[in-house]
Each structure stands twice: as C-alpha cells, then as structure tokens.
Amino acid sequence: MLPENLRSLDVGEVGAVVAAFDADAITGGRFDRNELTIEIASAKIVSVCGFLKYDQKFVRLSTVTGVDRYPAEPRFEVVYHLHSIERNQRLRVKCRLPGTDPVIESVTSVWRSANWYERETFDLFGIRFLNHPDLRRIMMPDDWDGHPLRKDYPITGSRI
Amino acid sequence: MPVELENEAQPQEQTRRRSMVLNMGPQHPSTHGVLRLLMELDGEIIVKCQPDIGYLHTGIEKEFEVKPYQQAVTLTDRVDYLAPLSNNLCYCLSVEKLLGMEIPPQAQWMRVMLTEFTRLNSHLVWLATHAIDIGAMSVFLYCFREREEILRIFEMFSGQRMMTSYFRIGGLALEPPRGWHQRVKKFIDVFPSRVDEYENLLTNNPIWIGRTQGVGFISLDDMLDLGVTGPMLRAAGLKIDARKSEPYSSYEKFDFEVPTRTENDVYSRYLVRVEEMRQSARIIRQAMDGMPDGPWKADSPHVVLPDREKMKTQMEALIYHFKIVTEGFRVPEGEVFQVIESPRGELGYYVVSDGTKMAYRVHMRTPSFGNLQSTPRMVEGTLIADVIAGIGSMDFVLGDTDR
C-alpha cells in the first residue's frame, strides 16, 4: 500500500509492490507517456534495486545516468533504467541528490553492468558512488578539471 | 619474447610465473577505432584485461543541450557512424513520443526499409572487417561491393552516403526520390545470392571454423548482468529483439524471424548475423512491395517544415517556415526513454524536455558501451590469439561507445 501522501500518484503495480516492500523508500512517482517512473530515497537504492532484480525480475540494468537541475535544489537526479525481459516491461528509478557533495551507494553489487555507467556519471556529473569497485574517470582524461555535463560547465571555451 | 635469465640456477618455478603487461591500441588496426586494451599476460594466457575507452569522446550529449530539436538530428548520425539511420530513428521516435505525434504510414514504412538497409550496411562492414582480422582477405572485397550499392541507395534518398540525417522529427527529410523502387528491387533481387557467396567463403571453411568455434564464450547470465545486448545474446539462445517485443515504427506489421543459436561462441555470432542479413532482406522486400501511399511527413505545421511549393505561394506556410527555421519548436515538458534494436543491440535515447526549444538532457544508451564492458569477462583466461576474434564478434563502434 502506498503511503498516504502518495495515494494520488499513479505509480502502477510495480510502485505499489515496492511500497509494500519498504514503505519509506518511495518518495514519488509518475506514469507518463506509457512510461513508469518511481522515485526512491537515495539511502534505500541498493535494497530497492536488489528487490526489483531478484523479486520483481528486472534482470537487466539498461543504463544509469544523471540529470543536473541547476540551480534548483536538490540539484542532481540519478536515473536508472531497468528492463525485465520476462515481464517485457521497463521501469525508470530516480534518486535526487543535493548539489553539495552528491553521494549515492553504488548498485554494482546488484548489476555488474552498473560499473561503467556509474563511472560515466561520476566523470561527467561529479556524483560519487560509494563502494564502487573502480571509480575513475572513463570518458575524460584522468587529470581533467570539472564535470562537463553539469549545467554550470560552459559549452565552449579554452583553458588558460 | 626470449626471457633473459640472470642466473642459470634460478628456480624454474619463478621464471614461469613472471607476467608481462601488453598494451594493445589505441592505434591498433583490429580495434576498429581507438580502443585500448591493457592486458597482463602469463605466457600466452591473459590473466587480466582492462579496456580503456574515451579516446573518441566528443561531448555529443552536451551538444544536444544547445541545439534546437530538429538540428540535433545531425548529431545522431555521428554517434554510430556505421548505423546512422538507426540513431536518427531512435532520436526522432523519442522526440515524437514527447510531442505525441502521429507519423503517416508511408514515412513509417520508409523508415523501416531504410533502417533495415542500415542493418545490412553495418553487418556487411562488420563481416568484412571481422574476416580480415582473422585472415580472410577476400570476404572484405565481396562485402564492400554490396555495401557500396547500399551507400548509393542512401545517396539517392538523402543526398548523402553516410551521414544521411534522412529521418526528421515528423517524418522524412525529403520526398522519396523517383525511381527508388527499381533501384531497391535490383539490389534486393541479387542480395540473397550474395549472402550465399559470403557463406561459401566462410561457413564451412576449416580455417574460419578453427579460429572461431569455441572461442569467446561468456555465459548468458554473465552477459545479462554485464549489459550485453543484441546478436551476442541471440547467439546464446535468448530470443530477444526490440522489434518483436516492443515494436516501433510499425514493425509489428512485418513478417520476419529472430535467428538464435545456442553455441554462444564467435562462430555462432557470425551465423546469427548472417541470418539477420537474410531476414533484413525479407523485411526490405515486404516494405518495398507494400509501401503505402500518402503523405511522408506528419500534418503538424508547428513542427514540420511546409512543402517548398506551399511556402512560396501561401502566407501561413511562409510564416511557419520562418518560425521553424529561425526559432525551432517547443516540446512539452516530460521525459521519455525510447528503445530500438540497432544492428549492435539495444539502442535507447533518454530525452528530458523542460518545455523549451532545446532538449534539457539527452542520454544515449548505446549498445557498444554495454557490450564492450564484457571484454574482461570474455578474454580473461583465454589465449591472446583469440582476443582479436573475441572482440571482433562484439561488433562495437568506438564512436558509439564514447559518444
């Protein structure tokens, strides 16, 4: 059963199942253009993802990425796209992180494919993933300053 | 490489354990671009492998944020330069989903036909280069003969051989050219026999079998866990194809098979892709024969450029033309994740709109990135001679990986 404040949201069957698994985990959700998004408290990401993979058959993690909502706060969204082959269903899981020191637990323990995707998100957004086996830059050179996909990073210009 | 012993009396055990680090790439002919592999070797066995990517990172995702939606179509060509139309299609479908737009049947069928040509094009380049990596020179010449004809067909449609940008938000860029039917028919009539020619050269060739059979194995569970998609999964027995499971652009109206194998090695991936070429030819023939009549772009004057004729004779058309060209168009707020089956696997565009004329964020889930992540799992513990065959069977494009 969904928490009282979220009853009006249409989070579908999966959202209700996640709410039954951990009532504090879900912080929001939306069903829009035939795509389901559920928002998860960032502290619960690993346990919810484990539940979604092993119990709800979302065996594939399609991609992990970030969205920078600068200057709004909480500034960052970490977006996970999950895919269940058995149910032929896709699910978007989202966590919001603050602008200062954005940190979230890595889901590499659930899906190994998260490894490179989280490295990419770290590289381009500066979001740190705790307990990641190998958190290094992947696209930019190792000695690069800044995180290019942040909204306050300029699109052109040269370094002096 | 001869190992110089400092002391003859050195215990043999110690010399045997000595490992060396070999750097392959980024300028290695068989890495098809700029992939760098760092491999720790114990004799000829790979103990540890670490892929290093990012040499072709061009910041395309950042570029999307400062280009109007329609102009950004040209960026998608450059992501996967062997399958430009698949990327065009996926991007257009995702923006059309945000706009809630209906695409007329002729445009949809034309999109299917040309995307299948792209699949042929991509598989032909893959087969040519994969074969030349393993040592079969002549296959290269055969494959490029047909690829050249496909590029000419692309040129006929769009005026461009490779960076076509032929699909636009709302339909096609130009009216299909006069005489396309004969040109496509001429190609598709002979193509199946050309696939037979490639198979004659390779399928029962003892050297080819020796180099590819039983090589490059990864278990299906590992592949799913590591984010591998496309022909590699199908060669491991999993019948997964977004054209069947999540049909887009009226793929549900076409009759085709999804080929699978169970051997899960380089040879079976070759067989799967060859069979996919035959199936693509089937789809192209169906699209060509059953091509519906009617408009080739959506009736949506705010988004789609008016016909040239109307623009010169009608006031409203001229105003719309001016507005679209100078300002672009606004896309309602929201986010979508559109998935298609590209020649390499699952291609997804995640587009976030904040209601303005430029995308707030575009992320590409590219198949090469996911597939390449499984390299260490595939090559560790195998012989160095099999690395080329193994990574060749993944069919990655570095532009697609690094974006």
Q: What DSSP string runs through B125-191?
A: HHHHHHHHHHT-HHHHHHHHHHHHHHHHHHHHHHS-SS----EETTEESSPPPTTHHHHHHHHHHHH
Read off the pLDDT of residues B260-279 as tens digits, 9 standing for 90 and up: 988 888 999 999 999 999 99
Residue B203 has pLDDT above 60, yes or no: yes
Check residue A38 and give its pLDDT: 87
Residue of B nearest to A138 (CA): B54
pLDDT bin (cut points 50, 70, 90) of residue B136 is: confident
Task: Give contacts of A 93-132 with B, CB under 8 A.
Answer: 111-113, 115-117, 124
The residue among B142 and A22 whose pLDDT is bigger is: B142
Check residue B2 and give its pLDDT: 47
- Evaluate whether B43 touches B15 at the Cβ level (below 8 Å): no
Check residue B3 and give its pLDDT: 47
Q: What whole-number percentage of chain A has pLDDT above 70?
A: 91
Read off the pLDDT of residues A57-80 as tens digits, 9 standing for 90 and up: 889 999 999 999 888 888 899 999
d(CA A116, CA A99): 23
pLDDT bin (cut points 50, 70, 90) of residue B1 is: very low
- Please tell me which of the candidates A35, A65, A148 has its beta carbon nearest to residue B336: A35
d(CA B170, CA B305): 9
Q: What whole-number percentage of chain B has pLDDT above 70?
A: 95
| Complete domains list, chain A, with CATH | 4-102 (3.30.460.80)
Residue A81 has pLDDT above 90, yes or no: yes
Read off the pLDDT of residues B60-88 as tens digits, 9 standing for 90 and up: 999 999 989 988 999 998 888 888 999 99
- Please tell me which of the candidates B57, B65, B337 has its beta carbon nearest to residue A35: B337
- For range B7-13, the mean pLDDT: 51
- Evaluate whether A22 touches A48 at the Cβ level (below 8 Å): yes
User: How big is chain A by its Cα radius of gyration, in Å?
Assistant: 16
Taking alpha carbons only, the member of B12, B39, B53, B21 closest to residue B381 is B39
> Mean pLDDT across chain A, nearest whole number?
85
Supply the DSSP symbol for B20: E
Within a 13 Å sphere around the CA of B164, how many CA atoms are in the beta-carbon half? 31
- Please tell me which of the candidates B339, B363, B373 has its beta carbon nearest to residue A116: B373
d(CA A6, CA A20): 13
Q: Which two tokens stand for residue B115?
A: 């995307």
- Evaluate whether B151 touches B163 at the Cβ level (below 8 Å): no
Check residue A5 and give its pLDDT: 52
Residues in a beta bridge with B351: B336, B362
Residue B153 has pLDDT above 70, yes or no: yes
Check residue B170 and give its pLDDT: 87
Check residue B16 and give its pLDDT: 56
Check residue A79 and give its pLDDT: 93
How far, in Å, are A4, B126, B159, B194 from residue B149 at the CA level?
62, 16, 14, 12
Contacts of B215 (CB under 8 A, 6+ apart): B265, B266, B267, B382, B386, B389, B390
Chain B residue numbers with beta carbons less than 8 Å from the beta carbon of A139 are 53-54, 57, 402-403
Taking an 8 Å cut-off on Cβ atoms, the answer to whether A113 and B373 are in contact is yes
Taking alpha carbons only, the member of B109, B111, B103 closest to residue B85 is B111
Residue B8 has pLDDT above 60, yes or no: no
Residue B22 has pLDDT above 60, yes or no: yes
| Complete domains list, chain B, with CATH | 60-402 (1.10.645.10)
Q: Between helices B180-202 and B105-134, what is the axis angle to 10°?
A: 30
The residue among A104 and B11 whose pLDDT is bigger is: A104
Chain A residue numbers with beta carbons less than 8 Å from the beta carbon of B375 are none
Chain B residue numbers with beta carbons less than 8 Å from the beta carbon of A111 are 225, 227
Residue B15 has pLDDT above 70, yes or no: no
- For range B39-53, the mean pLDDT: 88
How far, in Å, are A23, B134, B335 from residue A12 at the CA level?
15, 50, 17
> Mean pLDDT across chain B, nearest whole number?
87
Check residue B102 and give its pLDDT: 87
d(CA A87, CA A101): 37
E strands in B230-319: none
- Please tell me which of the candidates A92, A138, A149 has its beta carbon nearest to residue B337: A92
Residues in a beta bridge with A93: A38, A80
Mutation site, B352, B361, B402, interface A, largest A CB count within 10 A? B361
- For range B16-41, the mean pLDDT: 79
Taking an 8 Å cut-off on Cβ atoms, the answer to whether A60 and B227 are in contact is yes
Read off the pLDDT of residues B206-219 as tens digits, 9 standing for 90 and up: 989 988 888 888 88
pLDDT bin (cut points 50, 70, 90) of residue B298 is: confident
Taking an 8 Å cut-off on Cβ atoms, the answer to whether B369 and A81 are in contact is no
Read off the pLDDT of residues A113-150 as tens digits, 9 standing for 90 and up: 999 999 999 999 999 999 999 888 998 888 888 898 98
Check residue B116 and give its pLDDT: 93
Check residue A7 and give its pLDDT: 56
d(CA A41, CA A18): 12
Residue B17 has pLDDT above 70, yes or no: no
> How many CB atoms within 10 Å of residue B207?
11
- Evaluate whether B308 touches B191 at the Cβ level (below 8 Å): no
Residue A14 has pLDDT above 80, yes or no: no
Q: Which two tokens stand for residue B86?
A: 């698949």
